């Protein structure tokens, strides 16, 4: 083997593990900081026995980690399945679709059952995915503009329906912010117990198909002639990503742009290979959302910012930048 | 032994026949030129042969097995395809793109092995693309990208190769180079090759066999010398044709008006 070959291929191999280790360390540091920050000052020596830490901050930290990991992995998966760098669960309207089901479940009095909320969210999110996919794929090709516009319009439509539902139930008016901007304020151990297994399964499925995601980027026909069962793989991936989104949205509302920001930043370091991007997205997404949530609850104490507004502050400019960068293509 | 067969293959898009009643049989180790005027169904035929399109009626069999009974993975180990248009928006390097050709032999969670890398280096050197290994598709010329796509198909190491105008973007010396390379693979490794070409002389020089389509039907299948007769060329392609010293010389029926526009 020529030394140059070693060089080409080892660049990428070298970068996966160091990136994972750095991200893990950063995530640990961010978690400790988040645990210590807050209105109630807890001395670090009593942290582990403090009920504020155990019942409020720790579940909140864990839920933001789970949500961040799930959303950015879904973003990475969608960008390959739809062959479009601008897609993520929020832009495609799938998060909103999930929030519709969740708020309908609450309207009909299911609010004490996160499983019930989650399954209703899953049903409406799956319908949304189906609509987006059908409208966007005319003939055999996915049309980028149609795809994005469909997602945006569905978000408008669903937000309108949800605000209507909220007016019907005036006592729950507050939560419109929750469903459009997201919040981890109500995180509980019960949420973790439900969301964690769903997210873990979903992430494992996406990791399992990481190589197929690379081939899907080359186009459906090419992927098929290189041995990918394209339709089957797409269906499995869309189902499990939607499942993750449904349960994340049921527990913390709609948080946008995570799936756009994180995989893109990682691709700058790691290149396009999903076998590197997806694993790092787990940690990167967790870190990003945890930081946003910690900022959201500490910058304007005692009031709290919606976490989705912070992710949008980073994500929306990035979306516009990507649109600008890709404008020749579309 | 026949490697690839179609029986009464027909394909309809709406009310338009794209292929009608094509029955052909491709021998193992044959090197076939697929020819015909624009829009006569060459690309569609190739896409049916590799299972990407489901025919409206009739069927395709590969190695005496119906193409629908293959899994995507088995099919990718049997037939490789070079498509007419390659997408240029991939962020992967040429090396990674060619490495994708090894996918049908890898388990899902397995990384590429040393032998995969060696095969990739081999085929990239053969197609004269090794120096491009770190370039991305949008940094390459059309011809370079076509050669990278050919390298990926070669990396699949399949007994059958289907190529849709792989020489269309190449300069004349690369056209000869690619055709000789394919000829080599055909003779030494007994690969079955079907190639869509427009250049009559290129086909005449390199491909012993001809599949000629005209008006969505199979017009001729057999040795190219018997197939490309001046009279047939002139009726199919609507040009004047003559053959001398193994060269096909064509000219237009239309007399261009002298330049006084």
- pLDDT over threshold 80, residue B86: no
Residues of B with CB under 8 A from a CB of A: 47, 50-52, 71-73, 75-77, 79-81, 83, 87, 89-93, 95-97, 100-101, 103-104, 106, 108-109, 111, 114, 117-118, 121, 133-134, 156
Assess whether B220 and B238 both reside in one domain. Answer: no
Assess whether B182 and B237 both reside in one domain. Answer: no
| Contact across the interface for A5 and B83, Cβ inside 8 Å | no
Assess whether B210 and B221 both reside in one domain. Answer: yes
- pLDDT, residue A138, reads 67
pTM of the full structure: 0.89
E strands present in chain B: 2-13, 16-27, 31-35, 57-62, 65-66, 79-82, 160-164, 192-196, 209-214, 217-223, 239-244, 247-252
How far apart, in whole angstroms, are the C-alpha atoms of residue B136 and residue B95? Answer: 9
Q: Is A209 on the interface with B (CB under 8 A)?
A: yes
Tally the domains of chain B: 2
- Indicate if ipTM > 0.90: no
Q: How far is B134 from chain A (nearest CA, A)?
A: 7
| CATH code (residue B184) | 3.40.50.300
Q: Does B121 map to a domain?
A: no
Residue B203 parent element (H or E): helix B200-206
Assess whether B163 and B257 both reside in one domain. Answer: no
- pLDDT over threshold 80, residue B257: no
| CATH code (residue A240) | 1.10.3470.10
Q: Does B223 map to a domain?
A: yes
Assess whether B260 and B174 both reside in one domain. Answer: no
Assess whether B83 and B174 both reside in one domain. Answer: yes
Averaged confidence pLDDT in chain B: 89
Assess whether B210 and B245 both reside in one domain. Answer: no
Q: Is A215 on the interface with B (CB under 8 A)?
A: yes
Q: Does A210 map to a domain?
A: yes
Assess whether B164 and B82 both reside in one domain. Answer: yes
Q: How far is A59 from chain B (nearest CA, A)?
A: 33
Among the residue ranges A52-61, B36-45, B82-91, the one predicted with the least confidence is B82-91
Is-contact B69 B84, C-beta < 8 A? Answer: no
Q: Which domain holds residue A193?
A: 54-325
- pLDDT, residue A146, reads 81
Instruction: Report chain B residues whose CB lies below 8 A from the CB of A275.
Output: 111
Tally the domains of chain A: 1
Q: Which domain holds residue B240?
A: 229-261
- Mutation pick from B90, B95, B149, B163 vs chain A, by most beta carbons of A within 10 Å, is B90
Assess whether B83 and B162 both reside in one domain. Answer: yes
Instruction: Report chain A residues whose CB lies below 8 A from the CB of B52.
Output: 221, 224-225
Parallel, antiparallel, or unpaired for β B217-223 and B209-214?
antiparallel
Count Cβ atoms within 10 A of the Cβ of residue B104 and give its class: 0-12 exposed, 13-18 middle, 19 or more buried: buried
Closest CB to B91 among A8, A215, A272? A272
| Number of residues in chain A | 330
Q: Does A197 map to a domain?
A: yes
Is-contact B62 B39, C-beta < 8 A? Answer: no
Q: Does A2 map to a domain?
A: no
Assess whether B235 and B221 both reside in one domain. Answer: no
Give the residue from chain A lying closest to B103, CA to CA: A226
* pLDDT tens by residue, B147-189: 999 999 999 999 999 999 988 888 899 899 899 999 999 999 9
Q: Does B24 map to a domain?
A: yes
- pLDDT, residue A147, reads 84
Q: Does B120 map to a domain?
A: no
Q: How far is B217 from chain A (nearest CA, A)?
A: 25
Interface contacts A/B by beta carbons within 8 Å: 77
pLDDT (mean) for B79-103: 89
Assess whether B174 and B260 both reside in one domain. Answer: no
* pLDDT tens by residue, B68-78: 999 999 999 99
Q: Does B148 map to a domain?
A: no
Tokens encoding B24: 């052909």
Assess whether B83 and B161 both reside in one domain. Answer: yes
Q: How far is A266 from chain B (nearest CA, A)?
A: 14
Give pLDDT < 50 ranges for chain A: 1-11, 13, 330
Q: Does A126 map to a domain?
A: yes
- pLDDT, residue A5, reads 45
Instruction: Report chain B residues whose CB lies below 8 A from the CB of A1.
Output: 114, 117-118, 121
Q: Does B119 map to a domain?
A: no
Q: For residue B154, what are the CA distances in angstroms to A177, B2, B103, B119?
A: 56, 21, 13, 9
Q: Does B26 map to a domain?
A: yes
Q: Does A33 map to a domain?
A: no
Q: Does B151 map to a domain?
A: no
Q: Is A214 on the interface with B (CB under 8 A)?
A: yes
């Amino acid at each position: 083997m020529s030394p140059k070959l070693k060089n080409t291929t080892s660049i990428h191999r070298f970068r996966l593990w160091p990136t994972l280790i750095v991200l893990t360390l950063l995530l640990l540091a961010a978690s400790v900081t988040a645990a210590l920050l807050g209105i109630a000052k807890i001395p670090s020596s009593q942290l582990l026995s403090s009920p504020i830490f155990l019942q409020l901050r720790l579940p909140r930290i864990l839920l933001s980690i789970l949500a961040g990991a799930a959303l950015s992995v879904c973003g990475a998966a969608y960008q390959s399945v739809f062959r479009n760098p601008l897609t993520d669960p929020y832009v495609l309207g799938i998060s909103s679709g999930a929030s519709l089901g969740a708020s309908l479940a609450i309207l009909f009095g299911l609010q004490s059952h996160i499983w019930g909320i989650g399954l209703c969210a899953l049903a409406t999110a799956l319908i949304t995915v189906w609509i987006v996919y059908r409208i966007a794929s005319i003939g055999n090709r996915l049309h980028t503009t149609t795809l994005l516009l469909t997602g945006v319009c569905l978000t408008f439509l669903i937000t309108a329906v949800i605000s209507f539902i909220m007016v019907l139930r005036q006592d729950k008016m507050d939560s419109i912010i929750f469903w459009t901007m997201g919040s981890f304020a109500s995180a509980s151990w019960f949420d973790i117990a439900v969301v964690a297994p769903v997210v873990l399964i979903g992430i494992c499925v996406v990791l399992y198909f990481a190589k197929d995601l690379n081939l899907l980027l080359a186009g459906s026909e090419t992927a098929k002639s290189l041995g990918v069962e394209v339709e089957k793989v797409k269906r499995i991936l869309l189902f499990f990503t939607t499942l993750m989104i449904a349960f994340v949205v049921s527990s913390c509302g709609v948080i946008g742009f995570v799936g756009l920001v994180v995989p893109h930043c990682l691709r700058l370091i790691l290149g396009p290979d999903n076998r590197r991007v997806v694993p790092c997205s787990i940690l990167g997404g967790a870190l990003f959302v945890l930081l946003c949530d910690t900022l959201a609850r500490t910058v304007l104490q005692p009031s709290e910012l919606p976490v989705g507004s912070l992710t949008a502050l980073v994500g929306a400019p990035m979306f516009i930048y990507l649109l600008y960068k890709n404008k020749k293509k579309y | 032994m026949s490697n690839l067969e179609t029986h009464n293959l027909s394909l309809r898009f709406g009310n338009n026949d794209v292929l009608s009643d094509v029955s052909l049989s491709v021998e193992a180790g044959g090197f076939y030129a697929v020819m015909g005027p624009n829009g006569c169904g060459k690309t569609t035929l190739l896409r049916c042969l590799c299972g990407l399109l489901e025919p409206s009626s009739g069927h395709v069999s590969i190695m005496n097995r119906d193409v629908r009974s293959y899994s995507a993975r088995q099919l990718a180990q049997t037939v490789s395809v070079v498509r007419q248009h390659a997408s240029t928006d991939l962020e992967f390097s040429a090396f990674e793109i060619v490495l994708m050709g090894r996918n049908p032999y890898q388990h899902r969670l397995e990384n590429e092995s040393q032998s995969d890398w060696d095969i990739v280096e081999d085929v990239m050197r053969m197609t004269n693309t090794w120096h491009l290994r770190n370039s991305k598709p949008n940094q390459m010329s059309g011809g370079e990208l076509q050669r990278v796509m050919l390298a990926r198909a070669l990396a699949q190491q399949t007994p059958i190769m289907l190529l849709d105008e792989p020489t269309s973007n190449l300069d004349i010396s690369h056209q000869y180079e690619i055709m000789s390379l394919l000829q080599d693979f055909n003779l030494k490794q007994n690969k079955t090759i079907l190639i869509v070409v427009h250049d009559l002389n290129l086909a005449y020089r390199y491909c012993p066999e001809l599949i000629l389509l005209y008006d969505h039907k199979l017009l001729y299948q057999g040795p190219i010398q018997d197939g490309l007769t001046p009279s047939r060329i002139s009726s199919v392609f609507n040009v004047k044709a003559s053959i001398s010293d193994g060269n096909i010389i064509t000219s237009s029926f239309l007399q261009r008006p002298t330049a006084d526009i």
